[in-house]
């Protein structure tokens, strides 16, 4: 869920202007950020999907070898430097990582400027319009295309176990990915996925759990939980009914806490979420 109450105020990143985005991406390949520990090889790529061409970024550790595949679904602000940092950090830990622009049907990344104000209805409406342009079938076909692209890379381990993780709206998209590729996705991470993980609609993400074969990590925000405290219990019940291994926890931080640049970024809780994700992948992707 992403509204003015859950995503308050400004999100800022001065690397985000369209003119500087390419330069920032190039510089990122030379010097890692403080959060991107270690080194990774970065490439801007295009992924062909049934609906067009998706701009994306691919990461893998340096040197020869191959590593488990991980797909990263960004939050509602899309592919931007903060998610490039995230992909680079993940790859440096031993994964081949794809971070797509989920809004490629509407615009090239980055889809926001140096600052984005969630309190501005016009700005908020633009992003919700981009999200509305993606149908459930579109998410599923995109996920299949993204994993096929990852599997075609020589740096991807020739194993059937891959991970997917998502932030904000990406949490729900990660659930859909696991259900669309039950023979491929072995681990799912959702970070401040919000109350959209459990809805009363027939396409609610929690109803897809039984169609997957993955272990799950669901890290909910405290303000999401305060708004709809039953979501965590519904998720736990769905995981139990489907007999899926899962951790569902409410973190001491607000919606958006994992991604630098926002007013709610909480480094201590973000690092705790990173550690939990690392344990999930180390267990499920071997």
Condensed to tens digits (0 to 9), the pLDDT of residues 14-45 reads: 786 655 555 445 444 443 333 344 699 999 99
Residue 250, beta-bridge partner list = 220
CB contact burial 242-271 (16+ within 10 A = b; e otherwise): bebebebebbebbbbbbbbbbebbbeebbe
Condensed to tens digits (0 to 9), the pLDDT of residues 187-225 reads: 999 999 999 999 999 999 999 999 999 999 999 999 999
Using 50, 70 and 90 to split pLDDT, how confident is the model at 13? confident
Which residue segments constitute the domains of the chain, with CATH numbers given? 10-284 (3.40.50.1820)
pLDDT at residue 217, rounded to an integer: 98
Condensed to tens digits (0 to 9), the pLDDT of residues 49-59 reads: 999 999 999 99
Using 50, 70 and 90 to split pLDDT, how confident is the model at 246? very high
Condensed to tens digits (0 to 9), the pLDDT of residues 102-159 reads: 999 999 999 988 888 888 888 889 999 999 999 999 999 999 999 999 999 999 999 8
| Whole-number Å distance between alpha carbons of 7 and 174 | 20
Tokens 């993980």 sit on residue: 197
Reduced to 3 states (helix: H, G, I; strand: E, B; else coil), residue 178 is helix
pLDDT at residue 9, rounded to an integer: 67
Helix (H) or strand (E) holding 169: helix 169-180
CA distances 143 to 162, 181, 235, Å, are: 12, 8, 22
What value does the mean pLDDT of the chain take? 90
């Amino acid at each position: 869920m992403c509204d003015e109450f859950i995503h308050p105020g400004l999100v800022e990143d001065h690397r985000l202007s369209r003119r500087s985005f390419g330069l920032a991406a190039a510089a990122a390949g030379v010097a890692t950020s403080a959060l991107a520990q270690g080194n990774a090889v970065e490439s801007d790529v295009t992924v062909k999907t049934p609906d067009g061409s998706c701009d994306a970024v691919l990461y893998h550790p340096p040197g020869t070898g191959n590593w488990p595949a991980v797909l990263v679904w960004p939050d509602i602000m899309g592919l931007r430097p903060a998610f490039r940092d995230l992909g680079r950090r993940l790859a440096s830990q031993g994964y081949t990582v794809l971070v797509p622009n989920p809004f490629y049907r509407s615009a090239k990344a980055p889809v926001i400027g140096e600052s984005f104000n969630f309190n501005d209805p016009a700005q908020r409406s633009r992003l919700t319009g981009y999200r509305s342009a993606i149908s459930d079938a579109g998410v599923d076909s995109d996920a299949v295309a993204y994993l096929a692209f990852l599997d075609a890379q020589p740096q991807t381990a020739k194993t059937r176990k891959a991970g997917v993780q998502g932030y904000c709206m990406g949490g729900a998209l990660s659930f859909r990915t696991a259900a669309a590729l039950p023979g491929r996705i072995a681990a799912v991470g959702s970070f401040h996925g919000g109350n959209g993980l459990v809805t009363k609609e027939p396409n609610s993400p929690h109803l897809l759990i039984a169609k997957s074969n993955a272990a799950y990590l669901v890290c909910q925000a405290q303000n999401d939980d305060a708004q709809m405290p039953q979501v965590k219990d519904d998720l736990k019940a769905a995981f139990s009914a489907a007999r899926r291994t899962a951790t569902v926890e409410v973190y001491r931080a607000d919606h958006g806490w994992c991604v630098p640049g926002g007013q709610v970024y909480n480094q201590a809780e973000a690092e705790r979420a990173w550690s939990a994700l690392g344990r999930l992948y180390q267990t499920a992707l071997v």
